[in-house]
Amino acid sequence: MSRQPIEHRFSRREGQVMDVVFRLGEASVAEVLDRVPDAAGYNAIRNTLSILAEKGYLRHRREGHRFIYSPAIPVSAAKQSAVQHMMQTFFGGSPRDAILTMLDLSSSRLSEEELDEIKAWIDERREDR
């Protein structure tokens, strides 16, 4: 596979389908169809899932008369790629700006324990320098 970020390898529809499969962990065509906005129809989703399986991004198994699809790439790789894309697109590649924005958006929802975990992570990284 190329080293291009994961989300750049997908069409818009493929990205939507992958988002659903990642969220659910595994899904049938019908489950994906129910969760993809403005889905073109059952056959379009089935074809997209088949294409993603052929490209190696999904696995599938037969369960009765239907196929169940699951990610073939680690969620961690998809997360890392998505964050890198977000940083490049919205923050000019600056991790600092991205992190400060995320912390600002979630500051009222972070517990003291979560804030302590973030502080401990930062302290560890400082010690590693």
**Residue 26 — left, alpha, or beta (φ > 0 → left; ψ -120 to 50 → alpha)?**
beta
Eight-class DSSP state of 117: H
Q: Could you report the per-residue pLDDT of 25-49, keeping only the tens digit for each?
A: 999 999 999 999 887 899 999 999 9
Hey, how many other C-beta atoms are within 10 angstroms of the C-beta on 46?
Answer: 18
SS3 for 36-71 is CCCCCCHHHHHHHHHHHHHCCCEEEEEECCEEEEEE
**Sorting pLDDT into bands at 50, 70 and 90, what band is 122?**
very high
Cβ(60)–Cβ(53) below 8 Å: yes
Please check the confidence at residue 8 and state whether its pLDDT lies above 60. Answer: no
Residue 8 tokens read as 């750049």
Band (pLDDT 50/70/90 cuts) for residue 1 is: very low
Per-residue pLDDT at 124 exceeds 80:
yes
Q: Is the pTM of this model over 0.75?
A: no
What pLDDT does residue 103 have?
A: 87
Q: What digits encode the pLDDT tens for the residues 68-120?
A: 999 998 888 877 877 888 899 899 999 999 989 988 888 778 889 998 999 99
